[in-house]
């Protein structure tokens, strides 16, 4: 199972209300009739951390592997934006011109 | 050496021209352009004059064949074939396709030349091609653009496009680049460049806006490579978006995002990790890039990996400091759980619970302690245990309630455990505690209904059920209980001849029934009451109404049969009167069968006996109905019902039916062997015994707890003959049987803690002596002492009787058991 806090995009310190709000937001974005698999994941995540007791239980016994993507994302804080060089720009164009199907 | 002429070609040469023409037409109309080329080539050879028209047909065949090749992505071959066309008829056909194929096959110079050469012949639909050629011009083929007419937009607007690109790439300020972009008309062949440069500029201040801008660039545009970079750099989850790119694109997008070398290295190494990296790789990845991560987040992630990667413990301590004792124990427990070492896991959790209890002032610690203890209760239930050493499930649950007294499930589970262990006093105690703590919880109140009923405190039970209905008016269990309570009273009053009181009870039951869920039971009882009151007309009217409400003949028949027997009446009298027909000839549908299953279950739960005799009359139609079933979800409840009823013959039939479709399902193997042996393990054949053991192994592997418990319990009849069974040879157990059993009991006794041994031994002896044939020559007390001494290996036996030395325990030859 994926980390329920990540699934619902809430902090691990979030309370009942914040978690419910995040859950409803996720359900709006991924309604069961359109995205049933994702909805199941969201539902399971919500059930896992819905109440304070659930969150304590999750902290004690939860065994899901950590999401490295979150960790990596936090490490990729953008610096001053760069630009493409002409050479790179041409390279990308040529690649597309030759490889187009 | 001369190349041999292909056979088809040789045959074509022999054909007269008239036939060749006909064949050429056919081949063209059937899209067989490859063969058509051969035919028209031959016709051109025979009649080379242009007015013959074969050149036109050959050009058509070449063009269509080229298109076929291009559809197979054979662009180079398509272009080569197309090149035959201008020489044949002196004019080009669809040159935009030719340029396109040249571009797609990487022949850029040739493409530019062809574009310049055929510019005038390009059709109006060649806008997309113009964009491609414009992009090609920007890649460095600018000299060839000079071959185009001066007024061609591609040539005219190229300088502005190049200037805009250069301004962006050389880091000019945004307004300067925008000024250059203004010089590119909106319908220019360079319009995609205009759009993509605008998006790249936007990316620096408004990433979401940049993503919106590139949405307008068509998917076939040659700028899509740049578009992908913009999308990744503008993504709200750039890490994931970057990972989806190829390595070169990823480096370029990282540059757009402004990532430094360390971040790019992190990204590169993350991309190298597989889709599902191992725990070691994950752990090492975290520690290698610790400087870039949020330290707390990284610490949590590394800690989460330790149960599956214990070797990381040292590395963890080095990077994040030693683990506190609680985390150490928690990790040990989690690791043990993963390795299915339940005892070790329980030890780890016990240590955790003790630490939490020591901090019980903190509400979170109290609740965590309770949760840990409940988790231990769940774990302890999984331990394979001997019946003499019960798991500590109840103890853990009881302790958990000290720290969190509001957990309904803990009370109910405790009650259930004691109920299953036959410890009624404790069962009732825990339900009472639950009611006291949670007086408005319908589930707790329903449990209280059950305990009160078990203690025959019907008034109290009815009170609880009524309270459930107040709290939850649609609670069907409470409603059914109250209806049954009134019906039970009514039956009592009928049997006692108090007909007026019985009628009142039936009225109450009728009022509780929901109009849309009337089962006919109240009406049938009214009919039976009328029979006692000697009112045959009333009786018939009520019974007919009951039969109608029951829904189907089989359900009506079963209800009438059970209800009559409960009032000591012969059901046949009424069945004949109501013309219900011969039960052996009923046609039972799937729905009727499932409804009958529920009915039988409900009667069994009410404590109605002899349900098997009711089923006896329905055996034939039931078998027929069971035979038609295919769904496992239908067969399971039917087997369960017949197992409980019990009706071994039908159970064996249903299980055999289920096994035909699910031959390896342990539960059905159990039901079949159990039924075949009449529920007696001694009657199980050796072959079935092996099948049972295999089924048990499969149930354990598949974590099929229901099957595992049932099979284990059945097999345990063979393990612990504490409760003597009838002799396998029939009749009461013989002294020889008892001696066999003693050998086994002696083994079992050795596993009992010494403190408990005497108490259990006394119980066993009482049961054993009761089951032995009476022997007037030995007083019961002396017999008990003798057997006790025998079980202890003969210790003190000489003092009781004058017998030769007995073999020591375990030293004698033991009858080989199957387990």
Whole-number average pLDDT of chain A: 87
DSSP reduced 3-state for B28: helix
| pLDDT for A1 | 64
Query: B258–A82: do the CB atoms touch at under 8 Å?
Result: yes
Rg (CA), chain A: 20
For the stretch B467-494, pLDDT in tens is 999 999 889 889 988 998 899 889 989 9
Query: At B367, is the pLDDT very low, low, confident or very high (cuts 50, 70, 90)?
Result: very high
d(CA B431, CA B433): 5
**Helix B363-382 to helix B408-420 angle, to the nearest 10 degrees?**
30
pLDDT (0 to 100) of residue B777: 52
pLDDT at residue A35 greater than cutoff 70: yes
Q: Three-state secondary structure along B497-515?
A: CCHHHHHHHHHHHHHHCCH
- Identify the closest residue of chain B to A84 by CA–CA distance: B169
- CB pair distance less than 8 Å for A76 and B140: no
Contact B222 A93 (CB under 8 A): yes
Q: Compute CA B733 distance to the chain's CA centroid, rounded to the nearest angstrom.
A: 49
Q: Which residues of B touch A72 (CB under 8 A)?
A: 239, 266-267, 270
Task: List the single residue in B with minimal CA-CA distance to A70.
Answer: B239
* A7 contact residues in B (CB cutoff 8 A): none
For residue B164, what pLDDT is reported? 93
Compute the count of residue pairs across chains A and B with CB atoms less than 8 Å apart: 158
Percent residues over pLDDT 70 in chain B: 83
Tell if the CB–CB gap between B139 and A93 is shorter than 8 Å: yes
Better pLDDT: B703 or B469? B469
The stretch B497-510 carries a mean pLDDT of 92
Touching check for A60 and chain B: CB below 8 Å? Answer: yes
What percent of chain B is predicted at pLDDT more than 90?
36
Q: Which residues contact B326 (CB under 8 A, 6 or more apart)?
A: B352, B355, B356
* Mean model confidence pLDDT for chain B: 83
Q: How far, in Å, CA of B540 to CA of B535, rounded?
A: 9
Band the pLDDT of B728: cuts 50, 70, 90: very low
Name which of B715, B768, B760 is nearest B740 in CA terms: B768
Give the largest Cα separation in chain A, rounded: 59
> Taking 70 as the threshold, does the pLDDT of residue B732 lie above it?
no
Residues B635-655, mean pLDDT to the nearest whole number:
92
- The answer to whether the CB atoms of A78 and B259 lie below 8 A apart is yes
Average pLDDT, integer, range A53-69: 85
pLDDT of residue B804: 45
Confidence of residue B502 (pLDDT cuts 50, 70, 90): very high
Give the phi and the psi of residue B318 in degrees, each rounded to 5.
-65, -40
In tens, the pLDDT along B528-537 reads 999 999 998 9
Residues 6+ apart with CB under 8 A from B373: B353, B396, B397, B399, B400, B403
What is the full DSSP assignment across B37-65? Answer: HHHHHHHHHH--SGGG-HHHHHHHHHHHH
Cβ within 8 Å, pair B239-A83: no
Taking CA atoms, B34 is separated from B29, B65, B75, B392, B412, in Å, by 12, 6, 16, 83, 81
Reported pTM: 0.58
The pLDDT, as a whole number, for residue B701 is 86
pLDDT reported for residue B437: 95
Chain B: nearest CA to A33, how far in angstroms?
25
Q: Does A29 touch chain B (CB under 8 A)?
A: no
Q: Is B318 exposed, middle or buried (0-12, 13-18, 19+ CB in 10 A)?
A: exposed
Distance set, CA B466 to CA A83, B462, B491, B501, B678 (Å) = 76, 6, 21, 21, 41
Q: Is the dihedral of CA B622, B625, B627, B632 positive or negative?
A: negative
Tell me which of B112, B162, B226 to substitute to probe the interface with A (most A C-beta atoms closer than 10 Å): B226
Whether the CA torsion B740, B744, B747, B752 is positive or negative: it is: negative
Residues 6+ apart with CB under 8 A from B306: B312, B313, B316, B331, B335
What gap in Å lies between CA B728 and CA B744, rounded to an integer?
A: 16
Do A81 and B203 count as a contact with CB atoms less than 8 A apart? yes
Q: Is the ipTM of this complex over 0.90?
A: no
Distance, CA of B77 to CA of B90 (rounded, Å) = 21
Q: Which of A57-61, B518-522, B794-798 has the lowest mean pLDDT?
A: B794-798
Identify the pLDDT of residue B577: 75
Question: Is the pLDDT score of B512 beyond 80?
Answer: yes
Out of B73, B223, B238, closest to residue A76 by CB: B238
- Would you say residue B724 has pLDDT above 50? no
| Contact check, Cβ <8 Å, B367/A56 | yes
For the cut 70, the answer to whether the pLDDT of residue B463 exceeds it is yes
* Cβ contact, residue pair B139, A94, below 8 Å: yes
Least confident of B3-17, B582-596, B654-668: B3-17
Q: Mark yes or no for CB contact B364/A88 under 8 Å.
A: no
Confidence band of B45 (pLDDT split at 50, 70, 90):
confident
How many Å lie between the alpha carbon of B277 and the closest alpha carbon of chain A?
A: 10
The Cα of A32 is separated from the nearest Cα of chain B by a number of Å equal to: 23
Are the beta carbons of B418 and B427 closer than 8 angstroms? yes
CB contact under 8 A, A75 and B263: yes
**B263-272 pLDDT per residue, tens:** 888 888 888 8
In this prediction, residue B308 has a pLDDT band, given cuts at 50, 70 and 90, of confident
Is A93 within 8 Å of B135 when comparing Cβ atoms? yes
Nearest to B371 by CA among A21, A60, A17, A82: A60
pLDDT-derived band at B198, boundaries 50, 70, 90: very high
State yes or no: pLDDT of B814 exceeds 70. no
Residue showing tokens 């030293």 = B811
Rounded Cα distance, B567 and B395, in Å: 45
pLDDT of residue B760: 60
| Residue B251 with chain A: CB contacts under 8 Å | none
Question: Nearest Cβ partner of A81 from B256, B263, B364?
Answer: B256
Q: Cα separation of B337 and B346, whole Å?
A: 9
Please write the tens of the pLDDT for every residue from B579-617: 778 888 888 999 999 999 999 998 888 888 878 888 888
Two structure tokens written together for B731:
């009749």
Q: Testing the interface with B: which of A60, A70, A80, A90 to mutate, by most B Cβ within 10 A?
A: A60
CA dist., res. A5 & res. A26, Å (int): 12
The answer to which of B5-14, B596-605, B669-678, B743-752 has the lowest mean pLDDT is B743-752
Of B259, B273, B367, the CB nearest to A79: B259
User: Across residues B98-102, what is the average pLDDT?
Assistant: 86
d(CA A47, CA A55): 10
Q: How far apart are the CA of A3 and the nearest CA of chain B, in angstroms?
A: 11
Name the percent of chain A lying above pLDDT 70: 96
Q: What is the pLDDT of residues B127-141, one digit of tens each?
A: 777 888 888 888 876
Spatial distance between the Cα atoms of B432 and B449, rounded to a whole number of angstroms: 11
As a whole number of angstroms, the distance between CA B641 and CA B222 comes to 69
Task: Write the CB contacts of A85 (distance below 8 Å, at least 6 apart in sequence).
Answer: B169
The CA-based angle B245-B251-B252, given to 5 degrees, is 90
**pLDDT at residue number B730:** 37
Option in A73, A76, A92 nearest B225 (CB) = A92
Confidence check: pLDDT of B123 > 70:
no
Pairwise CA distance, residues B569 & B558, whole Å: 14
B139:A90 CB<8 A? yes
């Amino acid at each position: 199972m994926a980390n329920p806090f990540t699934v619902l995009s809430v902090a691990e310190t979030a309370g009942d209300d914040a978690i419910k709000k995040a859950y409803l937001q996720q359900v709006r974005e991924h309604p069961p009739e359109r995205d049933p698999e994702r909805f199941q994941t969201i539902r399971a995540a919500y059930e896992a951390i819905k109440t304070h007791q659930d969150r304590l239980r999750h902290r004690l016994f939860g065994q899901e592997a950590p999401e490295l993507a979150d960790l990596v994302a936090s490490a990729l804080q953008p610096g001053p934006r760069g630009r493409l060089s002409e050479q790179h720009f041409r390279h990308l164009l040529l690649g597309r011109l030759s490889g187009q199907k | 050496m001369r190349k041999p002429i292909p056979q088809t070609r040789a045959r074509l040469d022999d054909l007269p021209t008239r036939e060749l023409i006909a064949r050429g037409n056919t081949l063209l109309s059937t899209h067989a352009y490859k063969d058509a080329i051969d035919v028209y080539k031959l016709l051109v050879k025979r009649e080379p004059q242009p007015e013959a028209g074969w050149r036109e047909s050959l050009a058509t065949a070449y063009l269509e064949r080229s298109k076929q090749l291009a559809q197979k992505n054979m662009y180079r071959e398509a272009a080569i074939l197309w090149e035959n066309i201008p020489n044949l008829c002196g004019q080009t056909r669809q040159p935009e396709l030719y340029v396109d194929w040249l571009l797609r096959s990487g022949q850029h110079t040739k493409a530019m030349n062809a574009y310049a050469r055929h510019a005038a012949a390009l059709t109006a639909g060649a806008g997309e091609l113009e964009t491609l050629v414009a992009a090609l011009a920007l890649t460095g083929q600018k000299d060839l653009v000079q071959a185009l007419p001066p007024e061609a937009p591609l040539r005219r607007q190229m300088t502005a496009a190049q200037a805009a690109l250069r301004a962006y790439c050389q880091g000019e300020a945004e307004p300067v680049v925008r000024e250059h972009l203004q010089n590119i008309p909106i319908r220019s062949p360079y319009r995609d460049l205009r759009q993509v440069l605008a998006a790249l500029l936007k990316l620096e201040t408004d990433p979401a806006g940049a993503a919106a801008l590139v949405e307008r660039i068509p998917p076939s545009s040659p700028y899509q490579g740049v578009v992908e970079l913009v999308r990744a750099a503008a993504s709200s989850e750039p890490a994931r978006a970057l990972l989806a790119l190829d390595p070169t694109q990823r480096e370029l997008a990282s540059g757009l995002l402004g990532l430094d070398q360390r971040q790019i290295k992190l990204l590169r190494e993350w991309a190298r990790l597989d889709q599902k990296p191992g725990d070691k790789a994950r752990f090492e990845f975290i520690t290698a890039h610790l400087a870039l991560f949020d330290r707390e987040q990284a610490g949590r992630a590394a800690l989460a990996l330790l149960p599956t990667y214990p070797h990381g413990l040292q590395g963890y301590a080095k990077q994040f400091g030693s683990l506190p004792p609680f985390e150490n124990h928690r990790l040990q427990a989690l690791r043990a759980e993963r390795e299915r070492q339940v005892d070790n896991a329980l030890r780890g959790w016990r240590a955790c619970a003790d630490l939490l209890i020591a901090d019980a002032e903190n509400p979170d610690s109290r609740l965590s302690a309770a949760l840990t203890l409940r988790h231990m209760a769940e774990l302890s239930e999984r331990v394979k245990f001997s019946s003499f050493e019960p798991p500590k499930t109840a103890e853990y649950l009881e302790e958990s309630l000290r720290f969190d007294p509001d957990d309904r499930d803990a009370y109910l589970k405790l009650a259930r455990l004691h109920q299953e262990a036959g410890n009624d006093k404790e069962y009732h105690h825990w339900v009472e505690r639950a009611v006291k703590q949670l007086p408005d919880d319908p589930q707790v109140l329903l449990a209280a209904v059950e305990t009160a009923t078990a203690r025959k405190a019907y008034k109290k039970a009815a009170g609880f059920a009524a309270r459930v209905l107040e709290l939850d008016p649609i609670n069907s269990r409470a409603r059914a209980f109250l209806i049954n309570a009134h019906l039970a009273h009514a039956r009592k009053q009928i049997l006692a001849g108090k007909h007026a009181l019985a009628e009142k009870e039936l009225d109450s039951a009728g009022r509780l029934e929901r109009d849309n869920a009337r089962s006919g039971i109240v009406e049938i009882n009214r009919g039976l009451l009328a029979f006692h009151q000697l009112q045959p007309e009333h009786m018939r009217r009520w019974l007919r109404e009951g039969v109608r409400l029951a829904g189907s003949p089989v359900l009506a028949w079963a209800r009438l049969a059970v209800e009559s027997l409960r009032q000591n009446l012969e059901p046949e009298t009424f069945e004949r009167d109501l013309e219900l027909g011969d039960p052996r000839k009923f046609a039972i549908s799937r729905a009727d069968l499932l409804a009958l299953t529920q009915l039988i279950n409900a009667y069994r739960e009410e404590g109605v006996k002899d349900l098997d005799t009711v089923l006896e009359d329905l055996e034939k139609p039931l078998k027929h109905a069971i035979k038609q079933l295919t769904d496992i979800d239908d067969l399971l409840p039917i087997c369960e019902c017949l197992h409980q009823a019990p009706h071994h013959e039908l159970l064996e039939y249903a299980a055999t039916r289920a096994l035909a479709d699910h031959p390896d399902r342990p539960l059905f193997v159990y039901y079949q062997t159990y039924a075949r042996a009449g529920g007696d393990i001694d009657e199980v054949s050796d072959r079935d015994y092996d099948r049972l053991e295999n089924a048990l192994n499969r149930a354990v592997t598949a974590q099929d707890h229901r099957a595992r418990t049932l099979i284990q319990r059945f097999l345990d009849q063979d393990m612990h003959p504490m409760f003597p069974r009838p002799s396998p040879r029939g009749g009461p157990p013989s002294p020889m049987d008892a001696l066999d059993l003693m050998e086994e009991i002696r083994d079992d006794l050795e596993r009992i803690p010494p403190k408990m041994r005497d108490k259990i031994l006394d119980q066993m002896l009482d049961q054993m002596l009761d089951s032995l044939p009476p022997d007037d020559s030995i007083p019961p007390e002396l017999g008990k002492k003798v057997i006790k001494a025998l079980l202890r290996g003969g210790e003190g036996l000489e003092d009781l009787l004058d017998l030769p030395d007995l073999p020591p325990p375990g030293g004698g030859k033991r009858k080989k058991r199957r387990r």
